[in-house]
Structure 1
């Protein structure tokens, strides 16, 4: 699920994204663009925290986020990384209007376009192009989830690391190593050993 996000203009970026993913009448696009709220989220801040009821989702114009869980001892479990041109959302909690079990953390100073969930529900009734957009979002999320589960079951630690480098070729220098280790389901020491072996 990709769109062109090279422009510095966030609304132009999103317009290009819609044209690529779910093209519709110009008046529908204009209506939707008016609902978008540009927001800056700084590194270390949360878009959603555990215990919040999500009432919004967002499009990443610039920046980097991760989905994570934190257990009762404070240990972090990184579920996924989200880069430019992706949506961030605690979806199941949002549609059920229940408290989120995950955090969505900004790993860099990030520029996003927020969308109010109730406004989305209203605009979604207007034209079939919005159903196309929703299906594209859900299909992408399902594909990511399916691949993630398969990799954790079938690939060893080294293979998961290589797969991470292929899937996120720019992230190793942007993300702390303990977060990558958490995403791969291994310890930071094991990750360090794998990286050392790969660099020889």
Structure 2
């Protein structure tokens, strides 16, 4: 729980009573490797804070092939904002690529905190802005670099993650085949 509080305090001030209230409205959740935190086609009803593990945002093509859009690691908030706020079905899956531990807020609890803690919405606006900036930066790398450069950028952005996830997930994220990824890894 302390990791969550420390993360929130990076984006705004909270007094001891507010911190206690946050702790009262949060719960722990464990998601096993291969299971989903959110599923496409369902409405996201939780905001998660990843304390251990890695999650990928992915979707599936018409032929059943999967595409990895992004990875989330420890210290990340996980939610499909559009689905959560607008109560529409999510378009992506958030799949645990390792066993994961999260601190979660059910929607009702999150809304209660937003109505009770004055700085709550401002804190989450700052968190969302930072996350969107980080994702935009990652997307520009994917569009402007060759496969080797994308892999090297991945290693810098998420140190150690390549050793924790499957080659197929990593290759999917990089937009290359597993055999191409194996060749790149061998040459680096």
TM-score of Structure 1 vs Structure 2, range by shorter chain: over 0.9
Question: d(CA) in 2 for partners of 1:80 and 1:153?
Answer: 14
Query: What is the CA distance between 1:194 and its match in structure 2?
Result: 1.4
Alignment map for 1:11-160 (pairs within 5 Å):
11-160=1-150
Question: d(CA) in 1 for partners of 2:50 and 2:180?
Answer: 32
Q: TM-score, normalised by structure 1?
A: 0.88
**Contact 2:29/2:104 (8 A) holds in 1:** yes
**What is aligned with 1:188?**
178
Q: TM-score, normalised by structure 2?
A: 0.93
SS at match of 1:85: coil
Q: Which runs of 4+ in 1 moved over 6 A?
A: none
List alignment gaps of at least 5 residues for structure 1: 1-10
Question: d(CA) in 1 for partners of 2:99 and 2:164?
Answer: 12
Q: What is the aligned length? A: 188
**Higher RCO, Cα 8 Å, sep 6+:** 2
